[in-house]
Structure 1
Amino acid sequence: MSTSYEQHVEYPNRKRMALLTAGAALFVAAGFFLIFDRSSVTNDSILSGVIGFLSILFFGLCFCYSLVKMIKKEPSFVIDEDGFVDASSYTAGGAVAWRDVENIFMYELMGQKMIGVKLRDEKAFLDRQNGMKRKLMTVNSNMVDATISVAQSSLTVPLDQLYIMMMSHWRHVSDNMIYDSYSRR
């Protein structure tokens, strides 16, 4: 009954990653401009300095992350018969076995289509994540009831197609688990 499903490997979309890196670099430059711009009034320059500093901090991290993702030759998403490995974003889920998946669904958040993955033991999964990543994943889970969210930004295959592949693999494993539990009786 067990049919082997082929592995699917996604690498980051280099063009999209280059655009994200360039955009982050522009915001870092804008942050420096806000900090060192002396043409405004003193009260405004303090606010500009704070905004500039926060811009440099946040978009500097975005710049470093996207630059590393663009340069590294590592997959951003892998699907196989055992599960999937999500490395598509900072809050990526990592390795997840199909048996741990409760539900997979498509949703839209702020105009962006995403794949949501709800896990059976969300608490155990979140406990394995580091501090900031855990907090971001918890916020996401509370907003859309998905432990893991996969966005199109670092994938080359259309999200709808990835969703169909994930559903096919997950259903195959789920059907085999049900078949195995009946055959043991």
Structure 2
Amino acid sequence: MGVVVERSRGKILLAFLGSVGFVVLSLAILTVGSASSLVVGVLGALTFGVFAVGWLLLLFRGGPGLVLDDDGFEDHSSGVAVGRVPWTDVTSVDRWGAFGSAFVVVRVRDPAVYLARLSWLARPAAWANWRMVGSPVTLGSVGLRTGFDHLHGLLLDGFERHRLRPRRAFDDDVGGHR
């Protein structure tokens, strides 16, 4: 199979600038002076500040954003990317969308394994993904040089190819151990 999807520096830069814009807006909300504006302003500035830092770090990270092969995929497309996911760990590939954003949800056999790989900063976001959509392994097309439908198609095709291959007894091992 062997497919490489590069990062999109332009899309990442726009996401960074959007996050910075929301930080500025959140700080402006603080000037209203009410108790609710204080809460909204602080939470907004902190949340979008973390997003801005994540996009900035991703902007300067080298290498491709996503690599798919016959054995699985390597995800480095976002700040909550989990790295290597063998097809033997994948139970389904689905679509999920809300608030104008769409994600590919890759459900895995043992989500805790993938949460444990992440940094202390990325783990809460991945845990929230797990609770909200059923998996900590989610991919968006925002940081990649591809559209969402193509991204979903690539992952679904890789998973289906794996499922159609003749099965071997050790393919059921969690973690893809052989």
Same-fold call, TM > 0.5? yes
1:64 aligns with 2:53: yes
Indicate the residue corresponding to 2:22 in structure 1: 27
Identity across matched positions, percent: 25
Equivalent pairs counted in the alignment come to 169
Q: Secondary structure at the match of 1:59?
A: helix
Question: Structure 1 segments of 4 or more deviating over 6 A?
Answer: none
Between the aligned partners of 1:18 and 1:132, the Cα distance in structure 2 is 21
CA distances 1:108-145 after superposition (whole Å, capped 9, x unpaired) = 22332221111012233323334443332222222222
1:54 Cα shift? 4.3
CA distance 1:177–1:122, change in 2 (3 Å): farther
Contact 1:85/1:95 (8 A) holds in 2 = yes
Between the aligned partners of 1:159 and 1:17, the Cα distance in structure 2 is 15
Contact 2:27/2:45 (8 A) holds in 1 = yes
CA distances 1:16-46 after superposition (whole Å, capped 9, x unpaired) = 22212222233334455566x5xx6xxx277
1:146 Cα shift? 2.7
Indicate the residue corresponding to 2:176 in structure 1: none
Indicate the residue corresponding to 1:11 in structure 2: 6
Indicate the residue corresponding to 2:74 in structure 1: 85
Between the aligned partners of 1:122 and 1:147, the Cα distance in structure 2 is 6
Between the aligned partners of 1:60 and 1:174, the Cα distance in structure 2 is 41
Between the aligned partners of 1:149 and 1:22, the Cα distance in structure 2 is 22
1:172 aligns with 2:161: yes
Instruction: Provide TM-score, normalisation by structure 1.
Output: 0.74
Q: Secondary structure at the match of 2:64?
A: coil
Indicate the residue corresponding to 2:152 in structure 1: 163
CA distance 1:143–1:64, change in 2 (3 Å): closer
- Map of 1:5-154 to 2, 5 A cutoff? 5=1, 7-31=2-26, 44=33, 52-154=41-143
Indicate the residue corresponding to 2:175 in structure 1: none
Instruction: List runs of 5+ in structure 1 lacking aligned partners.
Output: none
Instruction: Provide TM-score, normalisation by structure 2.
Output: 0.76
The structure having more radius of gyration, on CA atoms, is 1
Q: Larger deviation: 77-86 or 62-71?
A: 62-71
Letter in structure 2 aligned against 1:20: A
Between the aligned partners of 2:71 and 2:108, the Cα distance in structure 1 is 15
Between the aligned partners of 2:155 and 2:39, the Cα distance in structure 1 is 44
Decide which structure has greater helix share. 1
> CA RMSD, aligned part only?
2.6
Instruction: List runs of 5+ in structure 2 lacking aligned partners.
Output: 170-178
